[in-house]
Amino acid sequence: MHASDYDLAAVAKVIGEPARATMLLRLMDGQAHAASALAAAAGVSQSTASAHLSHLADAGLITVRAEGCRRLHVLASADVAAAVEALGCIAPLLPVESLTQARTGSKLQFARACYSHLGGSLAVGVTRHLLDDGVISMDADRHSIELLTLDHQLLRALDITTLSAGSGPVARGCLDWTEQQPHLAGRLGTAILAALLSKGWLLRRRHDRALDLTDEGERGLRRCLTELAVPVRVG
């Protein structure tokens, strides 16, 4: 017998526990994390975190791998990351209860890891420039993106001359939950974020998925993308 439809409620039930949702958001940086780090992010004990992580793993939302004596957790796939980001576009914002949370929120809105690619207002600004400069084209639905050329000063500065082979699309649009506009994903988006990090233009933060723009990164982006349509520095 064929299923009548997919069981959306089953996934919603797993994600619907706040601690689990927080863990998924922490894993949206695309990195592997130990249970202790995810417990700290969610504000629960490590034993409680382990139980939550088991639910997420059983639902196919995360995978666990052994690294020496440690067990590390990652999102199960790019499809899971895309689903989490899509939910963010319709979910209400969490209340801000401290100055620290407000500062973190500002940094997340400006630049963050969206699984394997760059998200935030900086990502939307970069995407707009690549679109205006004829590097990519975008359909009216703002989801389908086609790569037209790699001949651009930003890509040259980041040493992106070819893209690695892979099963995923070369380029696609990912609706940014803070900007409500698409930013660049796919293999090109992954290559850009990897290069920005390897060149030290962006730095990962320890306790969240926001990315800090360095002085060198600010100079490089201003040099390659004149009149960048987003503020380049967030305090």
- For 8-62, what is each residue's pLDDT tens digit? 999 999 999 999 999 999 999 999 999 999 999 999 999 999 999 999 999 999 9
Question: How much is the mean pLDDT over the chain?
Answer: 91
Which CATH number describes the domain made up of 8-76? 1.10.10.10
- Alpha-helical regions (H) of 16-168: 18-26, 35-42, 46-58, 78-88, 99-110, 121-132, 153-157
CB 85 within 8 A of CB 174: yes
The predicted structure's pLDDT at residue 227: 64
Q: Of 185, 182, 203, 210, whose CA–CA distance to 28 is shortest?
A: 210
- pLDDT tens digit string along 213-228? 999 999 999 999 876 6
pTM of the model: 0.88
pLDDT class for 95, splitting at 50, 70, 90?
confident
Counting every residue written for the chain, the total comes to 235
Q: Residue 232 pLDDT more than 50?
A: no
Cα–Cα distances (Å) from 170 to 18, 62, 80, 187, 189, in that order, read: 34, 24, 18, 5, 8
The domain limits of the chain are 8-76, 99-224
Residue 1 clears pLDDT 80, i.e. is over it = no
State mean pLDDT over 133-146: 87
Say which DSSP state 210 is in. B
Least confident of 115-124, 136-145, 190-199: 136-145
